[in-house]
Structure 1
Amino acid sequence: MTEKAEAQIIKKTFPITGMSCAACASSVGSTLKSTKGVQDADVNFATHTAWATFNPDEVSLADLKSALQGVGYDAIMEEDNVAEKQEEAQIAQFLEVKRSLIGSAILSIPVFIFGMFFMSWEIGQYISLPLSAVVLFYFGGHFFKGAWKQAQHGKANMDTLVALSTGIAFALSIFNTFYPEFWLQRGLEAHVYYEAAVVIITFISLGKYLEEKAKTNTSSALKKLIGLQPKTLIVLINGSEEEIPIGSVKVGYEILVKPGDKIPVDGTVESGDSYVNESMITGEPVPAQKLAGAKVFAGTINQKGSFTFKAEKVGGDTLLASIIERVKEAQGSKAPVQKLVDKIAGIFVPTVIGIAILTFVLWQIFGGENSLTQGMLSAITVLVIACPCALGLATPTAIMVGVGKGAENNMLIRDAESLEKAYQTNAIILDKTGTITEGQPSVVNEKWFSEETSLKSILFHIESKSEHPLAEAVLKQLKSAELSKISIQSFESISGRGVKAKYDDQNYFVGNFAWMQEQNLKTSDEVLITADEWESKGQTVIYFADEKQILAIIGIADKIKENAKLSIEQLQNRGMEVYMLTGDAEKTAQAVANVVGIKNVKAHLMPSDKSDFVKELQAKGKVVAMVGDGINDSEALAQADVSIAMGKGSDIAIDVAKMTLIGSDLENLPKAFHLSQLTIRGIKQNLFWAFIYNIIGIPLAAGLLYPFTGFLLNPMIAGAAMAFSSVSVVLNSLRLKGMKL
């Protein structure tokens, strides 16, 4: 290819509308690839987008759009507001499916009653006819349109089988309603099958409604991640403040951050002193102190102080933008569990049609006197009995019951894929803070070396003036004590050390051990031994002293959840490899791991490190579950095969995750995997019975036993058998309700 030709080739990514199954995605992909001028194309069903590389001199975007419309789909090619238009299309599709479901369900009820309980009532047939026509060709019209467009291109999907089975049953019913004598003269009854046709439409519409309902929320996590970045920021130009849009900021700008502001881009602090809440990046609950030279990241939140920093990474180069992109990439790589059923349906549909035609031909050859009548009835019976209802209901009914069972046990489950993958999981990653631990620093130990009652009041009022994050934990602990009101005479905060205050002409000090050493205070062996013991358990030790000696030490830690150790033990007993990942220090991480019995620990990790570790395990053939609660876990959650968020975690983690444990109790984690096992077992049983039903039913419908026993399956019996197959699948799914997790 010449350089000129290479320069002409462009790549375009665009949203696709109208896809309802993995077979649809395959159809869109093959349509794009077969369009003249397109070199390559692929479709991402999870994100409802497609990309194509093509020569614009040979094919335009309008041509691609037209080609897709020809097979029943559409594409959003506009340059502006593509995301908004895609969302509008998804909402419109959801409302249309909901309207069709409600309408078909309401009209199907009287038709079902007439067909099942008043089948011989002639007037009931004339009432059922118009009601059925509305259900099939108005509320279910999209099935017939889809089947027709697929047929025009030599393709078939679930729409094809739905349209054929319901259309032929309806056509035969009309014939039998107006010309019953055709069958009566031949000694046969003229049955109608309106109820079979409308029930099929209603059940399939229910499945499509559940699918569309899930699709409308697919992009909410990314929207919230994008929302972490402020729309405007303050830059310093020649010493004066100027507010500019986020899109106008450039590398090298000096940016001012005030208390409570979100940091707009990545950079390095130049002046000022503050604490920044970086929990969305590190997952740690304690805000990080930022002095000159410290790194800051977009999306993190400044606390009480102000500072200026120099912009180093802006736009798509920031850490937040990287997280957004990686979440999008990981989410898009997922394949829905329904893909298997759609593939089977793609083979099932032409096979059933072929069997129906073959049945009619064989009856004409070997049928004898009534070959035309019996051949026609047998062919129709094959199509009626081979309805995809049982196959279509096998997965959604089990999932519906499984999800309901999960909700009863404080587990919110998003889709079938997560349940399927949970069943296969053999490696599980747990975030530390907020997952294994409570996620809130609190006082776990305190030891006083003086019995003077006023000391707790003095410490309380000193800490109430401190901006240090750990001061909150001390205040919460002391609130339960009997405190007297006192007035602190002076207060001074020393960055990186602690605070100094004066009360009743006496100096008091609160801070770390280095701060105590600088005061040349008397330190007993008891203080040193106790502090060392607490630190070995991952606790941060705060010292309280006067001008002479240390008065008290306080151990602050993020408490381990009550059921964490038992839950982790249960996961290990299921044969899972358990890992703990954290952005915290190695010593603290190892201390927590030792308590809960985890041997595999990785500390000092950034969000991308967690995601990379998930990929590393997946590359080894592991099916990986990730459990987290923070924005910093969202990349790893999106990358994992099974993503589980703690209910008290961030909205982003909950949106990205496919499962959420309400209340953040780890006790529910082993239950989630047991629920997955029970649900997938139910799905497999349902699919087994759906196929067995067709394997036995279709040959009987074709008349296999007629030469030996004279038995010929009546289409009405076939309709009842079809209904029973659906009911049996539902009943089997409902068994899960009574099972204990």
Structure 2
Amino acid sequence: MTAITLPINGMTCASCVNRVERALTALPGVTTVQVNLASDSAYLELDDPKQLSTVSAALDQAGYQLGSEVRQVSIEGMSCAGCVRRAETALLNVPGVLNAEVNLASQQARIVYLAGMPTDDIFSALKKAGYPGRWVTPVTAGEQDIQVTKLKGERRHVILAAVLSAPLALGMLPALFGYHELMLPPLVQLLLASIVQFYFGARFYRGAWHALRNRTGNMDLLVAIGTSAGWSLSTWHVFSTPAGVMPVLYYEASAVIISFVLLGKYLESRAKRQTLDAIRALTALRPDMARLRSAEGEKLVPLEQINLGDQVLIQPGERIPVDGIIREGGSHVDESMLTGESLPASRQPGDSVSAGAMNQDGMLVVETTAIGHDTMLAKIVRLVESAQASKAPIQRLVDRVSAIFVPIVLLIAALTWGLGSLWFGGEQALLNAIAVLVIACPCALGLATPTAIMVGTGVAARHGILIRDAQALELAHKVDTVVFDKTGTLTQGKPSLAAFAALGPLQAEPALALAAALQRNAEHPLAQALLRYASEHQVDASAATDFRVHAGLGASGLVDGQRIWLGNRRLMTDLKVNLDSSATLTEQHESQGHTLSWLAIEGQPEPVALMAFADTLKPEALDTIKQLRELKIDSWLISGDSQAAAQAVGEQLGISHIEAQVLPEDKARHVQALRAQGHVVAMIGDGINDAPALSAADVGMAMSTGTDVAMHSAGITLMRGDPQLVPAALDISRHTWRKIRQNLFWAFVYNSLGIPLAAVGLLNPMLAGALMALSSVSVVSNALLLKRWKPEGK
């Protein structure tokens, strides 16, 4: 029985307490429930702490959430998929841990735990299981130095083990052909082999001990048993063989196996460091110092001393240290590492900038709006870390296979020794069993999926595609239907003046000047669109006087003593302005979904101009739909806009499936209906109204140019408002999935072929050790080929 107090978010009244109590008491294994509204908590008694995931799901269904935190833990000592399984089990058995995903490639765990729980229990459980851990901190220069030092230590061990093993192996080669002169004396061989076995191989014994203590198996156990058998048999021969007779020794096999495994681990560690390049590159973007403007002048201070609201100066060629808004100056800013956009963007006063971007050619004064962990750069790093530490559904299957793999290998090795003794003799059978143990080490199996995911998410981040979790990456390769929101996703999200038509008696230019004069002081988006159009046509006018806004209708003002009106059909009707002269144009523009306004002069019975406003397509939208069609992916347009507007956009892009005037909750229902028909659906949106549909889709993709709510609801965030990132995200998913399948295929083939070959004596222990090391390195190297991926057209 486990007693635990759970923080619960979302309770506001006594009825909430009743709903929570009903949801929890209905769960099997929950014997006591006491919900406290004042402390927003519930006291539970559970039969098993693992039931917390069930409790969390029940609360979600009732409309409440467990108060939880998510953090990354760095774990030491893991060597194979068996270690992953054991570390995860240890974490999940800690009361208060809701979920744990351990990644062999990154040597990290992503842990979801109850807010406020004592985290010492997490590290105690890991240490007891044989895997000491610590919280992951940002990758600083000091942290990188530690990692480099650790890698150098591994390399030194490999070299020394190889130097001690070489005389044993080189002495044996001539002996195979009857020349025993180069063989070292037995006691010298014993000394050299023992140093390799028990000093350089100590890590395998430690891992094996922890595995046995937890009643499981891992790679270390297989290596320790196999090499110990070879060393023990050789040592028995050294002391039991009569004097004057050269004993039969296998020291070279055990020593060389350990050297090969250490070499494989070193090459694997070096290759895995490259999978973390994305994190290191991102964290390296943030400068450590900032130029602070204060009453005393400018001074260079550590970034930690910058506060919200402070003004920071950034000179040309410097990286921007904070998120903020430009108050003075203008420049081109290179944001390629943050957004994947290859060209520098022009930034002027009022524009926002992000930490890590490079200021190119102008002095900027930036008012700080976010620092430290709250900057966009820090959020990107956390997203990439989270994705790299998360576990794809296919990996869970691999972990289950790995859990029974080691015991099966031990049984096969025992049968090889026992039955092989009848055919090959006891010593040869033992050597065959050792080869089985060594070649069966499931390193490649444990690395196949996580290394591909780490490289895939890293290279995607470099191109402006942030993947929040491995599940989104794995599912995206199956997508056959993409659902787009219209506004802000396929269109610019802001109106432009598509047409300006003079209706008489004024010509177009004087009429446009009147409209521009009237809208000079207006802040409405349509007014800004008209002013941009006037500027493009080099039409300028001073602002109107006595300017008035007529809410929901339009505006009016005095220009050269005349009262000018600009507004919609209802305003014109109220003014009794006859719109018959524009009927044909009106019908034409309304059929294209345009928003219409008329310009009228007081006292005149008819309008003098008609303006048609439209939300223009993004330049990349057409190519996006074309690329999706080439990938055999169906495109849908679901919009809350009018049927005419949605239809016009759909026709321009070649989208045949169009749903218009759809409410936010109905968007989610449309997505669910498509999924019910067997489609794997990706939803693309950018607004608060898209959040339900993003959550309902198999894969949600949110534009970072939209709202935070949309981004939190999506599994993938597109770091710039370019719809071409959609097919790019699906493409990197397909490439990553291909690498996962290749890695798993070769890992399984390697073990499936290697074990029987070793069992019948066709692989000696030394060759088995070399092949085992090679398999792990080849899996990681194959995954690293993903780093060459680029979106189409790049």
Please classify the TM superposition score into its range, dividing by the shorter chain length: 0.5 to 0.7
Per-residue deviation, 1:540: 0.9
Contact 1:111 1:131 survives alignment (8 Å)? no
> Greater shift after overlay, 422-431 or 174-183?
174-183
1:346 maps to a residue whose letter is A
> Greater shift after overlay, 436-445 or 633-642?
633-642
Task: Decide which of 192, 197, 201 is 2:261's aligned counterpart.
Answer: 197
Per-residue deviation, 1:535: 1.9
CA separation of 1:677/1:483 partners in 2, compared to 1, >3 Å: closer, same or farther?
closer
Determine the structure 1 residue equivalent to 2:639: 582
Contact 2:685 2:701 survives alignment (8 Å)? yes
Per-residue deviation, 1:344: 2.0
CA separation of 1:120/1:630 partners in 2, compared to 1, >3 Å: closer, same or farther?
same
CA separation of 1:110/1:151 partners in 2, compared to 1, >3 Å: closer, same or farther?
closer
Per-residue deviation, 1:381: 2.2
1:517 maps to a residue whose letter is T
- Name the CA distance, whole Å, in 1 between partners of 2:197 and 2:642: 67
Question: In structure 2, the residue corresponding to 1:348 is in which secondary structure?
Answer: helix
Determine the structure 2 residue equivalent to 1:469: 525
Q: Does 1:554 align with 2:611?
A: yes
- Name the CA distance, whole Å, in 1 between partners of 2:153 and 2:193: 9
CA separation of 1:202/1:632 partners in 2, compared to 1, >3 Å: closer, same or farther?
farther
Contact 1:589 1:603 survives alignment (8 Å)? yes
Contact 1:97 1:209 survives alignment (8 Å)? no
Per-residue deviation, 1:491: 0.9
Q: Does 1:698 align with 2:755?
A: yes
Per-residue deviation, 1:734: 5.7
Deviations 1:204-226 (A, max 9, x none): 7689989999999xxxxxxxxxx
CA separation of 1:727/1:611 partners in 2, compared to 1, >3 Å: closer, same or farther?
same
CA separation of 1:666/1:460 partners in 2, compared to 1, >3 Å: closer, same or farther?
same
Determine the structure 2 residue equivalent to 1:528: 583
Per-residue deviation, 1:618: 3.2
Task: Decide which of 247, 255, 258 is 1:185's aligned counterpart.
Answer: 247
Structure 1: where are the runs of 5+ without partners?
A: 52-59, 75-85, 217-330
Determine the structure 1 residue equivalent to 2:293: none
Question: In structure 1, the residue corresponding to 2:679 is in which secondary structure?
Answer: coil
Q: Does 1:391 align with 2:445?
A: yes
Contact 1:100 1:205 survives alignment (8 Å)? no
Determine the structure 2 residue equivalent to 1:283: none
Q: Does 1:539 align with 2:594?
A: yes
CA separation of 1:427/1:164 partners in 2, compared to 1, >3 Å: closer, same or farther?
same
- Name the CA distance, whole Å, in 1 between partners of 2:417 and 2:656: 67
CA separation of 1:610/1:484 partners in 2, compared to 1, >3 Å: closer, same or farther?
closer
Question: In structure 2, the residue corresponding to 1:190 is in which secondary structure?
Answer: helix
CA separation of 1:427/1:135 partners in 2, compared to 1, >3 Å: closer, same or farther?
farther
Task: Decide which of 474, 487, 510 is 1:433's aligned counterpart.
Answer: 487
- Name the CA distance, whole Å, in 2 between partners of 1:471 and 1:130: 82
Determine the structure 2 residue equivalent to 1:246: none
Per-residue deviation, 1:471: 1.4
CA separation of 1:451/1:738 partners in 2, compared to 1, >3 Å: closer, same or farther?
closer
Determine the structure 1 residue equivalent to 2:471: 417
- Name the CA distance, whole Å, in 1 between partners of 2:145 and 2:742: 32
Question: In structure 1, the residue corresponding to 2:523 is in which secondary structure?
Answer: coil
CA separation of 1:540/1:661 partners in 2, compared to 1, >3 Å: closer, same or farther?
same
Contact 1:582 1:605 survives alignment (8 Å)? yes
Deviations 1:466-507 (A, max 9, x none): 232321211222222334452522111111111110121101
Aligned ranges 1:484-495 → 2 under 5 Å: 484-495=540-551
- Name the CA distance, whole Å, in 2 between partners of 1:198 and 1:637: 46
- Name the CA distance, whole Å, in 2 between partners of 1:600 and 1:144: 62
CA separation of 1:202/1:360 partners in 2, compared to 1, >3 Å: closer, same or farther?
same
Contact 2:90 2:129 survives alignment (8 Å)? no
- Name the CA distance, whole Å, in 2 between partners of 1:434 and 1:65: 44
Q: Structure 2 length normalisation: TM-score?
A: 0.61
Determine the structure 1 residue equivalent to 2:296: none
Determine the structure 1 residue equivalent to 2:152: 106
2:252 maps to a residue whose letter is A
Determine the structure 2 residue equivalent to 1:350: 407
- Name the CA distance, whole Å, in 1 between partners of 2:415 and 2:201: 27
Per-residue deviation, 1:666: 3.1
Contact 2:622 2:653 survives alignment (8 Å)? yes
Q: Structure 1 length normalisation: TM-score?
A: 0.65
2:752 maps to a residue whose letter is I
Per-residue deviation, 1:365: 4.8
- Name the CA distance, whole Å, in 1 between partners of 2:663 and 2:569: 28
2:537 maps to a residue whose letter is A
Q: Does 1:724 align with 2:774?
A: yes
Aligned ranges 1:702-717 → 2 under 5 Å: 702=759, 704=760, 706=761, 711=762, 713-717=763-767
Contact 1:693 1:725 survives alignment (8 Å)? yes
- Name the CA distance, whole Å, in 2 between partners of 1:484 and 1:739: 46
- Name the CA distance, whole Å, in 2 between partners of 1:135 and 1:605: 67
Per-residue deviation, 1:433: 1.4
Q: Does 1:680 align with 2:734?
A: no
2:608 maps to a residue whose letter is L
CA separation of 1:408/1:364 partners in 2, compared to 1, >3 Å: closer, same or farther?
same
Determine the structure 2 residue equivalent to 1:625: 682
Per-residue deviation, 1:691: 1.2
Contact 1:97 1:208 survives alignment (8 Å)? no
Question: In structure 1, the residue corresponding to 2:608 is in which secondary structure?
Answer: strand
Contact 1:169 1:196 survives alignment (8 Å)? no
Determine the structure 2 residue equivalent to 1:228: none
Per-residue deviation, 1:429: 1.5
Determine the structure 2 residue equivalent to 1:500: 556
Per-residue deviation, 1:407: 6.0
Task: Decide which of 646, 650, 656 is 1:593's aligned counterpart.
Answer: 650
Per-residue deviation, 1:623: 2.0
- Name the CA distance, whole Å, in 1 between partners of 2:607 and 2:30: 78
Per-residue deviation, 1:509: 0.7
Per-residue deviation, 1:731: 5.2
Per-residue deviation, 1:169: 6.9
Determine the structure 2 residue equivalent to 1:379: 433
CA separation of 1:441/1:189 partners in 2, compared to 1, >3 Å: closer, same or farther?
same
What root-mean-square deviation, in Å, do the aligned CA atoms of Structure 1 and Structure 2 show? 5.2
Determine the structure 1 residue equivalent to 2:515: 459
Deviations 1:282-311 (A, max 9, x none): xxxxxxxxxxxxxxxxxxxxxxxxxxxxxx
- Name the CA distance, whole Å, in 1 between partners of 2:665 and 2:136: 31
Task: Decide which of 376, 381, 397 is 1:340's aligned counterpart.
Answer: 397
Aligned ranges 1:279-318 → 2 under 5 Å: none
2:485 maps to a residue whose letter is D
1:190 maps to a residue whose letter is E
Aligned ranges 1:89-168 → 2 under 5 Å: 89=135, 91=137, 102-113=148-159, 120=166, 151-156=212-217, 160-161=218-219, 163-168=220-225
- Name the CA distance, whole Å, in 2 between partners of 1:474 and 1:177: 91
Contact 1:25 1:43 survives alignment (8 Å)? no
2:654 maps to a residue whose letter is G
Percent identity among equivalent residues?
32
Aligned length: 585
1:688 maps to a residue whose letter is F
CA separation of 1:112/1:632 partners in 2, compared to 1, >3 Å: closer, same or farther?
farther
- Name the CA distance, whole Å, in 1 between partners of 2:440 and 2:652: 57
Determine the structure 2 residue equivalent to 1:310: none
- Name the CA distance, whole Å, in 2 between partners of 1:607 and 1:425: 22
- Name the CA distance, whole Å, in 2 between partners of 1:673 and 1:406: 10
Per-residue deviation, 1:186: 0.8
- Name the CA distance, whole Å, in 1 between partners of 2:407 and 2:139: 28
